[in-house]
Structure formats: C-alpha cells, structure tokens
Chains A and B, each alone.
Chain A
Amino acid sequence: MEKVLEVRNLSVQFYKGGKGIQALRNVSITLKRNEVLGIVGESGCGKSTLALSVLKLIPEREGKILSGEILFRREDLLRLSDEKLLQIRGDRISIIFQDPFTSLNPVFRIGNQIAESLALHRKDNLSTSETEKEIIELLELVKMPKPRDTMWSYPHQLSGGMQQRVMIAIALSSHPEILIADEPTTALDVTIQKEILDLLTELQKKLGLSVVLITHDFGIVSQICQRVSVMYAGSILEEAWTSEIFHNPLHPYTKGLLGSLPSRKEAPSYFQGEKRRLKAIPGQVPDPSNLPSGCKFHPRCPIVIEDCKLEEPMLREIIKNHWVRCIRAG
C-alpha cells in the first residue's frame, strides 16, 4: 500500500519558563492510504504536539521544529512556503480536536462556519444555494439529525456529540485525503463516543480517507485502528499492527500499559474474595524538562539493566512490521 504521509525524524522543542523542552525527539511515523493509524500515549508523551506539527500549527514563540521532514505527496511540508502550506492545511489534510465547543466560534451559526470552510477550500465558486446544498449534504454525511434545522443553530444549542459532528463536517468539507483526529471523543459520553467512532470508521471507508487517530484510550485503538504507535516522553517506543500489539506486546511499557487496563481480561471481580490488583507501572511520567538518561522508560522498567541507562535504544524491527525501542526485546 502506498504511503500517503511520512514523518521522518521530527524533533520539536518548546519553550517553557525560559527553558527548552524537547517535546518530540526523532519521531517517525508512516500513514498508508486508507489506513487508520493510532497514536497512543499518556499525557506529556508528545502525541498532540505531533498532530499540530504536521500542519505547522505550533505558534513560533511557543515552539520550534528543530529538524525532520514531513512528506506529503513527495513534498516536505516543513519546507513549503506559507502560501502553499495554506493550500494543504484544512484542504488536503484536515484536523479535528478534542473539545468541539471551544473549536467552534460561539457567535456564528454552524451553517455559516461550514460555509466559511467551503468558501476557503473549494476551488469552484459556489453560489448561495449551492453552498446551502453542500452544507446539508455534509451534515447528512455526518448523520446530523434534521440538517435543515440544525444548520441555523448556534454551537451552544447543540449537544457535544452534535458539535463534534459539525467539526467533522467542516473538516471533510474540502474532501481531504488525510484526517488527523486529536482525542476526538475524550470529552464525550461513552454512548456518543461509540456513535462518533462508528461514524469515523464509516466515513473513512466511504471516502477513502487516511486517518491519524490520537488517543490515550486503548479501547478506541483496538476498535478502529489498523496500526498503532505507542509514544512515551517524546518518542515512539513500539509500533505494530493493532492485534499484534494487543496479543504480543514487546516493549515493557506497552506490556505495563495493557496490564493496567481494568477491562475484561483482568476482571476477576467475579472471583469474590480473591485479592485482585492491576499490574500497575510504578512511578510516573517523567518531567519533560528533566528526562532520564538513556532509555526514557528505564526508571520505571521492571526489566531494566545497566545498559539501559547509558544510551537511548534505536527502533528495531523485531518481527516483521513490529518495531520496538528496547535493547531487551526479542
């Protein structure tokens, strides 16, 4: 399958309180056509930074892209002029965020907000009635109830799930090739989450989208992602097909994370009186301004050895299509 987006050795630095913090360190990901790639990690791992960096959405006074390439259609997005980048941003590559309420402008009706996107990105100049038709079609596409009515609503009149559908509609208005979704369902109730995830899966198949889904929830990943990258402290620790990662995790961090999940496998609540505990990873995520030496996970690793503290390991392909950043894997 062809690669539709390739991030190579991306390093991004933030400024916080005068200090430089490496938010991303040599991160590489590959997105193939029609694929849903999951980027999973806990807070501070850099997954949102990665999403924003692809479209150079990090303000200059906050952070800087130190090195790396982001290849889309054989062009390096980082070397493009602002003008050309604008043609891609929101147009060929769209992004939706976690909290739809803050992403939508509260003083404009949602129909207008979708229209704004259409006006910006569609090359053919649409008349008012054509625009209206497009808006309704888009709202129907995202399964918005009563599109003809809701297009005149203001964001605060809609529920969280409906607002997220509007976001998706805006993102899809330009018929993009790639959709980046940064924690799209975290702020939603679980039943609405399911609807939105089902919607995303359906749209992806229908429109031939390639999706990068960023989340901290393994459940979501297992439901809709084909491939997964696990991030920690600014770099990727493991990458493989979804079922491979779930059935055969190789990095101690991934194993630890999966063991921390109180889901079906570990639910011995049926066994009354038994001492049930999760296999928790001790310690906490390191402070980005004060990362440990060598492998960033070593202070919390159950199988750490002296060599782990010396040098950060390389990403190695232990099994076909299964990459791990650990000297003790395999």
Chain B
Amino acid sequence: MLADGVMLNIKNLKKYFPVERGVFRRVVDYIRAVDDVSFEIKKGEVFALVGESGCGKTTTAKLIMRLLQPTDGKIFFYGKDISLLRRRELARKIQIIFQDPFASLNPRLTIGTIVGEAIKYRLETTGERTETKKIREETKELLSRVGLPVNILNEYPHQFSGGQRQRIGIARALAMQPELIVADEPVSSLDISVQAQILNLLLDLRDSLGLSYLLIAHDLNVVRFLSDRVAVMYQGRIVEKGSVKKIYDEPQHPYTKKLLEAIPTSEPAAIE
C-alpha cells in the first residue's frame, strides 16, 4: 500500500454539494465538485493540479486541508488516514498558502501576531514552553527566511504590497513546520516581477527545508517551471496525469491538448 516515498495518497476522493430548492430545502441535485479523484505525492516533489475555473482543484485543496469534509474517499498521509488525526496534528503536517494576498491576512492583527500566533500554537501542541521572547526570535527568523525585513512585527497587513503579504503568508505556513505545503494559486494575483521572486522563494524553501508542494494553478507556464508531476483536472475529474515532460511534450487527452494550445506563445511571429 505504501510505495516508496509516498507522502500523500488521495484515493477516490469525492465532494458533492447538494443543490437545495424550496422552503424546506429539498435536495434536488448535486454539484460534483470533486468526482473520484486519486493521485499520490512523493516526498520532496512538486505536484501540480491544473485546470480552469470550476474544475475542482481548489475544492480538492480544501479537502486535503480538511477545511471541507469529503463526501467519499480517503486521504492518507504516510499511510495514516487524516480524518483520524486531530486538527492540530494535521496542521503540523500540511499547511496552505492562498491566492489572494489581500484576503489571506487578518487585517486587524499585526504581522507579529499573525506569524507569532502560529508559532505559539505549534509550541503549545508539542508541549514546549511559549516564551514571548522565544516566539519573537523565531518570528524574526521566519520573516528573514522569506526575504522580509525583521523590524515589521508591529505593522499591519495593509501597509505592505501584494508580494510582501504573500511572503508573510508563507512565513505563517512555515511556522507550523509542515512537511507538505498546499499552494493555492500562490502567484496569480502578483505582478510578473514579484511572481518570479516568489517562485524562486518557493524553490529555495523546498531545497533548504525539504518541503513538498501541492501546487494548484491555472497558469501553465508557472506549473511547468515549478512542478515535477502534473494532473490535469476537468469538471471534477483528473483527465490526465504524469511527469511534466510527458504532459507538456506528449499530451494525450484532448482537453490537455486544448489547454496547451491556448497558452499564448512567448515567441512572436514575424517582424512587421
């Protein structure tokens, strides 16, 4: 059951949302957001789920984070069913970074609190002492690890740019010392020049901390750059799965081909 180095194992995952009608909320139909999805993520790899809006990739990410409960199917982390884990235990294994750097940070809390709270919580769950000084030190360390200045503990999110907020979000995720990070469209809302910085950062962190990533994205260029293996989703199902090279060079499924053809080339044609 546990092949070599398989960290996350998704088996026959389903999430159906009931469609209700009428005063008494009768269920008349289901939205099959995730419809029998299975894949594996190996330790140290970057696995991507690609697809267009509504394909179910974000729902899958939320199911893995247990922000939603699956209708059916199982998710295993190193062989353990994650639905049996306590929330705190799961939080130390899998963390998430979000797409919208503006919405993913609580506007009413300071940066120090946003990252510090995560650190404090982690220390509490491992039974270590939660000294304020220790937390501050670690907060600063995390901030510099993600490329931010360390003197920003008392500032608020709205004082920072999109790229900087995204880095803060990454620092928060790292505070729990997870093994797997689910990155839900981590660079879609960012300017191109900042995008490149964050992509580099994600790869640096992978190398220095031994992280694995589940990348959710719709930008095929970003996926190709970052990932080792890719699964293409369409209407809740995986239509094709394989190594990056195979998917991009020899796509089999017609939808995959359609997606690849739609990428605007970066090589302009003739000179006018």
Q: Do chains A and B touch in the complex (CB under 8 A)?
A: yes
Q: State how many residues of chain A have any CB contact under 8 Å with chain B.
A: 46
Does more than half of chain B's interface fall in helix, strand or loop, or is it mixed?
A: helix
Is residue B123 within 8 Å, beta carbon to beta carbon, of the partner chain? no
Q: How many A-B residue pairs have CB under 8 A?
A: 128
Given contacts A219-B266, A223-B264, contact A284 B259 (CB under 8 A): no
B196 proximity list for chain A (CB < 8 A) = 259-262, 278-281
Q: For window 160-205 of chain B, which residues contact chain A by CB distance below 8 Å? A: 161-164, 191-197, 199-200, 203-204
Query: Which of B22-30, B75-83, B138-146, B224-232 lies at the binding interface?
Result: B224-232
CB distance from A269 to the nearest CB of B (A): 5
CB pair A260–B193 under 8 Å, yes or no, is: yes
Given contacts A190-B259, A285-B161, contact A263 B191 (CB under 8 A): no
Is residue B2 within 8 Å, beta carbon to beta carbon, of the partner chain? no
Q: For window 193-225 of chain B, which residues contact chain A by CB distance below 8 Å? A: 193-197, 199-200, 203-204, 207, 218-222, 224-225
Given contacts A191-B258, A246-B267, contact A276 B225 (CB under 8 A): yes
Q: For window 160-193 of chain A, which residues contact chain B by CB distance below 8 Å? A: 189-191, 193
CB distance from A74 to the nearest CB of B (A): 25
CB pair B218–A241 under 8 Å, yes or no, is: no
Cα separation A242 to B244 with both chains bound (whole Å):
29
Q: For window 250-267 of chain B, which residues contact chain A by CB distance below 8 Å? A: 258-259, 261-267
A278 proximity list for chain B (CB < 8 A) = 196, 199-200, 225
Is residue A311 within 8 Å, beta carbon to beta carbon, of the partner chain? no
B203 proximity list for chain A (CB < 8 A) = 276-277
Cα separation A35 to B269 with both chains bound (whole Å):
15
CB distance from B191 to the nearest CB of A (A): 4
Is residue B128 within 8 Å, beta carbon to beta carbon, of the partner chain? no
Residue of B193, B197, B219, B221 most packed against chain A (CB within 10 A) = B193
Is residue A8 within 8 Å, beta carbon to beta carbon, of the partner chain? no
Cα separation A222 to B222 with both chains bound (whole Å):
18
CB pair A262–B224 under 8 Å, yes or no, is: yes
Cα separation A222 to B163 with both chains bound (whole Å):
26
CB distance from A250 to the nearest CB of B (A): 16
**Chain B minimum-CB-distance residue to A194:** B262
Is residue A134 within 8 Å, beta carbon to beta carbon, of the partner chain? no
- Between-chain CB contacts (< 8 Å), 15 pairs: A189-B52, A190-B219, A191-B262, A221-B268, A244-B271, A260-B192, A260-B193, A260-B195, A261-B266, A262-B221, A262-B225, A269-B228, A276-B203, A284-B163, A285-B191
CB pair A284–B164 under 8 Å, yes or no, is: yes
Digitize A50-86: 1 where CB-to-B-CB distance is under 8 Å, 0 elsewhere: 0000000000000000000000000000000000000
Given contacts A246-B267, A256-B193, A262-B199, contact A189 B227 (CB under 8 A): no
Is residue A132 within 8 Å, beta carbon to beta carbon, of the partner chain? no
A242 proximity list for chain B (CB < 8 A) = 268, 272
Cα separation A262 to B162 with both chains bound (whole Å):
19
B222 proximity list for chain A (CB < 8 A) = 262
Cα separation A260 to B195 with both chains bound (whole Å):
8
B261 proximity list for chain A (CB < 8 A) = 194
Cα separation A219 to B265 with both chains bound (whole Å):
6
Is residue A145 within 8 Å, beta carbon to beta carbon, of the partner chain? no
B262 proximity list for chain A (CB < 8 A) = 190-191, 193-194
Could you say which of B194, B199, B265 contacts A284, with CB atoms under 8 Å apart? B194
Cα separation A227 to B272 with both chains bound (whole Å):
9
A125 proximity list for chain B (CB < 8 A) = none
Q: For window 256-298 of chain A, which residues contact chain B by CB distance below 8 Å? A: 256-257, 259-267, 269-270, 275-282, 284-285
